[in-house]
Amino acid sequence: MAESTRQINFTPDDVNNGKTMAILAYLVFFIPLLMDDMKNNNFVMYHTEQAIVLLIFNVIAGVIGGITCGIGLILYLPWLVFLIMGIMNASKGECKPLPLIGKFGEKFNLAK
């Protein structure tokens, strides 16, 4: 699987000013989208993209779990691992895509 070649431009100030909001994006993805100053912070928008992909993965896991009478709920384990990884990346000031699903965040194009 090819790694992303996308370059995200953010400054150390973006990280310092947006670290808390980037972490919050994984818990409530739309909060950074409502704040004008955070919409211009590429670090926060990158993690918001990742959080949206994680939410979509969560919904798919729920649907599969419902269809398979709960057997598919095992997909919540990787979701939890990805959630923790995303929060850890945001807290360290890193912009790493989540394994397997993170590359789909580029489609939202929030971080420029």
Measured CA to CA, the distance from residue 85 to residue 89 in angstroms comes to 6
Asked if the structure places residue 6 within a domain, the reply is: no
Whether residue 1 is predicted with pLDDT greater than 60 in this model: the reply is no
Give pLDDT, residue 5. 62
Whether residue 112 is predicted with pLDDT greater than 50 in this model: the reply is yes
Asked if the structure places residue 84 within a domain, the reply is: yes
How wide is the angle at C-alpha 85 spanned by C-alphas 6 and 18, nearest 5°? 65
Find the domain containing 95 and state its range: 12-107
Percent of the chain predicted with pLDDT > 90: 65
Asked if the structure places residue 45 within a domain, the reply is: yes
Structure tokens at 59: 């919904």
Asked if the structure places residue 2 within a domain, the reply is: no
Asked if the structure places residue 21 within a domain, the reply is: yes
Whether residue 2 is predicted with pLDDT greater than 50 in this model: the reply is no
Residue 21 · residue 38 · CB < 8 Å: yes
Asked if the structure places residue 1 within a domain, the reply is: no
Whether residue 46 is predicted with pLDDT greater than 80 in this model: the reply is yes
Give the number of domains in the chain: 1
Whether residue 90 is predicted with pLDDT greater than 90 in this model: the reply is yes
Asked if the structure places residue 5 within a domain, the reply is: no
Whether residue 93 is predicted with pLDDT greater than 70 in this model: the reply is yes
DSSP, collapsed to helix, strand or coil, labels residue 40 as: coil
Asked if the structure places residue 3 within a domain, the reply is: no
Measured CA to CA, the distance from residue 6 to residue 29 in angstroms comes to 22
